[in-house]
Structure 1
């Protein structure tokens, strides 16, 4: 079977916008996840298909570029397709279009499979590797390589993990990590600049009752910030990211 891509349509809702009346990045990533879910259902490799084998999808990395943020009530289409596969990785790309086919943003991502019982990463199961990956559109460059390490935090927050932070996999959902990373930035930056690009790596899970330390500092490049989220209990790095603003 060929792993063909698909597309899903959405309308930006009032609780997903910022003070400018534009969709927030966590909201747009949630739409990307919904479009990916719709596509994997048609391929027989959705999260529910994996859960029947005590496995699940987990997002390992995502790099997003935004050219324009859609406004409240604006209709968008999210196109998505499997863009590549390795022994333990599945690459998936996204493009967000306006109603008149303006390219609003794009993203590339890396997905792994986790054993739900052992809470360990495993190789892609045979029913996934049996799929023939046929990219629907020109693949984006894979998100690879290291990000610069944050050495000393300029801004820092302690965030308790609560019930509504937890997803179907019983750990903190990736959009919540993104929200925490962005919320730690100074208000002046969030008010005066727009997030144009972010590269985010998810390294470990956190669960209900944990406390997450969100740290951020300016990078050497103008308008670029480095982010680190870690566990207060263990000191383990949970998330690393680099964001660019203009």
Structure 2
């Protein structure tokens, strides 16, 4: 039985991955985490390519991320990731982002499912994945679970068409694009004057090219916190639900 030990991947923040404050965007950092996860699963023989050969694929179901400091342009960072546990069909994976000096910049926990790429349905975790023994390199973060508060009435809305560059290897909208649309539903003054401190996002359904996505957001009862959802205008399906927490920029 193979042991799922932690892996690390190094990245340097590029100019097209920063906002006009010169700091890495959250979608860019999530892309780093997913790339690190890909590298780690490849060493175990369970990367997306290995799954696609069997007519299966990985699907991100939930991501809860907390950022302490955002790295800047040209800054070198390291992403550490490890399989942190299993619950029935849910596979948990944690991440920590470090600066070159070893400063903890952020951390995240995620939930993954396995999907049949032909039937577009979630399946039980296959044996060849179950045979990989989960050996967390460090104490797992609390699992992302439970319901998020729902929006009673949207204050901010935004509609976005799904285009070619929004689609990933799974032939549906990539999750970092969903994340981007969630944040862009808020007025520009929010990210301009504040930094995203925490984001809890649940991916509920897939959408494809040609769809139009309606984003909705509203303040939560907790200060500096917003509730979000994305819906397909074609099907009426709720695609994404999220909650974001912000802090005033220094």
Give TM-score, length-normalised by structure 1: 0.99
CA offset digits 1:81-137 (Å, max 9, x no partner): 000012211100000000010000000000000000100000111000011100011
How far apart, in 2, do the equivalents of 1:124 and 1:178 lie? 26
CA offset digits 1:152-178 (Å, max 9, x no partner): 110101110000000000000000000
Partner of 1:78: 79
CA RMSD of aligned residues (A): 0.5
How far apart, in 2, do the equivalents of 1:138 and 1:77 lie? 18
Alignment of 1:66-145 (within 5 A): 66-145=67-146
Number of residue pairs matched by the alignment: 246
How far apart, in 1, do the equivalents of 2:5 and 2:87 lie? 17
How far apart, in 2, do the equivalents of 1:144 and 1:156 lie? 27
How far apart, in 2, do the equivalents of 1:47 and 1:167 lie? 12
SS in 1 for 2:43: helix
How far apart, in 2, do the equivalents of 1:50 and 1:150 lie? 36
Question: Does structure 1 residue 245 correspond to structure 2 residue 246?
Answer: yes
CA offset digits 1:192-230 (Å, max 9, x no partner): 000000000000000011111000000011100000000
Question: Does structure 1 residue 52 correspond to structure 2 residue 53?
Answer: yes
Question: Does structure 1 residue 148 correspond to structure 2 residue 149?
Answer: yes
How far apart, in 2, do the equivalents of 1:181 and 1:153 lie? 13
SS in 2 for 1:194: strand
Partner of 1:19: 20
SS in 2 for 1:76: strand
How far apart, in 2, do the equivalents of 1:17 and 1:223 lie? 23
What's the CA shift for 1:234?
1.3
Partner of 1:189: 190
How far apart, in 1, do the equivalents of 2:48 and 2:88 lie? 19
Runs of 4+ with deviation above 2 angstroms: none
Query: Which residues of structure 1 form unaligned runs of 5+?
Result: none
Partner of 2:221: 220
Alignment of 1:151-190 (within 5 A): 151-190=152-191
Question: Does structure 1 residue 205 correspond to structure 2 residue 206?
Answer: yes
Query: Which residues of structure 2 form unaligned runs of 5+?
Result: none
Give TM-score, length-normalised by structure 2: 0.98
